[in-house]
Amino acid sequence: MSGSERPIAFFDLKSQAARIRADVEARLKAVLDHGAYINGPEIAELEDALLRRSGAREVVAVSSGTDALVIALMAKGVGPGDAVFVPAFTYNATANAVLLTGATPVFVDIEAGSFDMCPDDLKRRIAALRAGRPDLRPRAIMPVDLYGLPADYPAIERIARAQGLVVIADAAQSFGGAVDDTQVGALASLTGTSFFPTKTLGGYGDGGAIFSTEPGLGEVLRSIRWHGTDEARRESIRVGMNGRLDSFQAAVLLAKLAIFSQEHARRVALAARYDANLSNSVELPARPAGRTSGWGLYTIEVENRDGVRARLSEAGVPTSVYYSQILPEMRAFRAYAGDGDFPAARHASARVLSLPFHPYLEDGEVDRVCEALRAAL
Ligand SMILES: Cc1ncc(COP(=O)(O)O)c(C=O)c1O
């Protein structure tokens, strides 16, 4: 079907599956043949491929993006009594990961426009915590690369160094992004990403990876991933968990990684097409100097979002909202809302709208979405 006939998909995993089907089947068959369903050779192969691509020092494949963050926090010894600074506007997994370690999330407002953690507000929140919460020790900063755009790591790293904090990046949405020439995975001491099927690099199930730029952490991360065991995997020498990725998922991810650069280039081209089409109509995704998005989602800001969405839906254009509620307002996290003053996060949560976006979208489909959007505003 041509771009003008087929229904527009918000994500399209089927077109990608058709493209890589032969490679995926061959790789899955190889796993069936060798039978090492856990820790088969695909795991090391995937970790090596991710290492080469990212420029990190160590890569450890794990069971999900959430587990990547939990294990990264555990590897740095973050736990009860520690404060971890997280953005107020992100997926719930960011705060859950912190709470699962026993540490306390401290919410930080976002930068207007980029939707990522605001370095100035971070500084204020660290100072306020040191002055007013002697029961909590500032330990870590967990920026999130929302919609694929890397956070302002140079500014956040400067603050972290001055304050003696570690940066653990939540890059669940941004694999493929970069700051200048440094890829996501090498932008922080530790980075967690997700291989949830709709992520920029997604498997056919759950998965994730931890990237480390610190020497010596790989062994600790691998130990925690396997119940905290020693190298012989017998005695537990620290607290750990089952955080393993399985061989089938690694096989799928290797097939996806083979086309990742092409897909990323297509995402970049589609984002540019959306930008050019919509520049006079809506607020476009920010493009801060030096920060290249992984383009997980294409997200604009509109007034009267519900009405716009309803009209787009009638015109056959699916949309999504990530996220309509800020974390400090969610019942699970209200106890950590602090002063509740997150104006930029609140503003974004009322206005963000994600448009259909995936590497198999056709130019004509982008044009149709934009036409429908202009009519719906
Ligand atoms: C910002 C963010 N953090 C963490 C996660 C958790 O990843 P996973 O679903 O693989 O556990 C996700 C993805 O869903 C996410 O979008």
Looking at domain 259-376, which of 3.20.20.140, 3.30.360.10, 3.40.50.720, 3.90.1150.10 is its CATH number? 3.90.1150.10
pLDDT of residue 4: 52
Whose CA is closest to atom 13 on ligand 1? 172
Span from the CA of 349 to the centroid of ligand 1 (angstroms): 18
pLDDT of residue 1: 45
Tens digit of each residue's pLDDT, the chain (377 residues)? 444 579 999 999 999 999 999 999 999 999 999 999 999 999 999 999 999 999 999 999 999 999 999 999 999 999 999 999 999 999 999 999 999 999 999 999 999 989 999 999 999 999 999 999 999 999 999 999 999 999 999 999 999 999 999 999 999 999 999 999 999 999 999 999 999 999 999 999 999 999 999 999 999 999 999 999 999 999 999 999 999 999 999 999 999 999 999 999 999 999 999 999 999 999 999 999 999 999 999 999 999 999 999 999 999 999 999 999 999 999 999 999 999 999 999 999 999 999 999 999 999 999 999 999 999 99
Integer Cα distance of 251 and 66 in angstroms: 21
Span from the CA of 207 to the centroid of ligand 1 (angstroms): 10
Whose CA is closest to atom 12 on ligand 1? 172
Which atom from ligand 1 is nearest to the alpha carbon of 196?
10
Span from the CA of 377 to the centroid of ligand 1 (angstroms): 31
What is the model's pTM?
0.98
Span from the CA of 170 to the centroid of ligand 1 (angstroms): 8
Q: Which residues pair with 314 in a beta bridge?
A: none
Span from the CA of 98 to the centroid of ligand 1 (angstroms): 13
Span from the CA of 220 to the centroid of ligand 1 (angstroms): 22
Whose CA is closest to atom 4 on ligand 1? 93
> Ligand 1: which of 73, 173, 244 to mutate, most ligand atoms within 8 Å of CB?
173
pLDDT of residue 5: 73
pLDDT digits 0-9 by tens, 273-313: 999 999 999 999 999 999 999 999 999 999 999 999 999 99
Q: Got the DSSP string for 258-274?
A: TTHHHHHHHHHHHHHHH
Domain 17-257 has CATH 1.10.3720.10: no
- Cα three-residue angle 271-61-58, rounded to 5 degrees: 90
Per-domain residue ranges for the chain?
17-257, 259-376
Integer Cα distance of 291 and 328 in angstroms: 27
SS3 10: coil
